[in-house]
Amino acid sequence: MKRFAAATVLLLLGGCKPLPELPGASAPYAQVEAGLALVFVDPELKGADQFARRLQVRVDRSFQAEDGSLVVSKEMLQGVGLPLNVLTRVSKGGVALLDEHGKPVARLLPEGFPDRTSSWEAHGTRFVVLGRAAWGGASILPDTSDPVGVWVEARPSNGPRSRSLYLKGLGEVETLEERPGGAWVCVNRLEQYGFPSPSAPDPALTLAPVPASKPAAKPAIKPAPARAKRH
């Protein structure tokens, strides 16, 4: 993925309107709030290895386009590498990755997610909505956040299956990967959350540390409600 030039991002966002405040019920399962900073880690790694491979995400700007969709500019930093500017478009519950010209190049979530769609396919992988469950790591979030998210299973044509939990306003907060023998191992988890100063070089430096806790038991996943067949 190419790094977007700042001028290109500003050009794409120039004709957009400021992001309106969204009620909780209509909040998308994606990162859209300007100033939001997140840090993700692989719990399987320890110490310096975990630090070197952590993923930091900061939402720079969010605007409403003329068609009503949300255009979100984010900066992502893997380990100690160079930051990468990423554009996404959020519309009717769906999330699409955009190129530097604002054209969609990948569908991350389909429109109607999660209540009006139960499965979809993208790039040779089938995605299935498993159901809803409370996130075991929700203690790092504000009390006003909804800890109940939606589990989605990715079933590639080749390779192991994975399961990701999506929360409103945050998107993917935890990913499990299937291992030989049927065990599921967490390979990505939201570890820190906050709204640091825009001038802070590293969002993790200004986020509150995560309190130590015992590993949470795997939550039960409630089946997605049956959908009426269309005639």
Inside any domain, residue 136: yes
Give the torsion sign (CA, 23, 127, 91, 142). Answer: positive
Place of tokens 């050009």: 11
- Average pLDDT estimate for 111-132: 94
Tell me, what's the pLDDT at 9?
32
Query: Which domain CATH number covers 63?
Result: 2.40.360
Owning domain of residue 95:
6-19+28-196
In a domain, 63, yes or no: yes
Categorize the per-residue pLDDT at 19 as very low, low, confident or very high, splitting at 50, 70 and 90: very low
Structural domain tally of the chain? 1
- In-domain check, residue 55: yes
Query: Distance (Å, rounded) from C-alpha 180 to C-alpha 88?
Result: 34
Look at residue 217 and tell me if it is in a domain.
no
Compute the distance between CA of residue 150 and CA of residue 166 in angstroms, rounded to an integer. Answer: 5
Residue appearing with tokens 């998210």: 149
Q: What is the pLDDT, as a whole number, of residue 1? A: 40
Q: Looking at residue 79, what is its pLDDT? A: 85
Q: What is the pLDDT of residues 159-200, one digit of tens each?
A: 999 999 999 999 999 999 999 999 999 999 999 999 986 655
Asked, for residue 218, whether it belongs to a domain, the answer is: no
Whether the predicted pLDDT of 8 surpasses 80: no
Is position 222 within any domain? Answer: no
The verdict on residue 176 lying in a domain is: yes
**Does pLDDT of 111 surpass 80?**
yes
211 in a structural domain = no
Of 2-16, 58-72, 144-158, 211-225, the range with the lowest mean pLDDT is 2-16
Spatial CA neighbour of 70 closest among 93, 101, 37, 36: 93
Average pLDDT over every residue of 77-92: 91
Q: Are 173 and 216 in contact (CB under 8 A)?
A: no
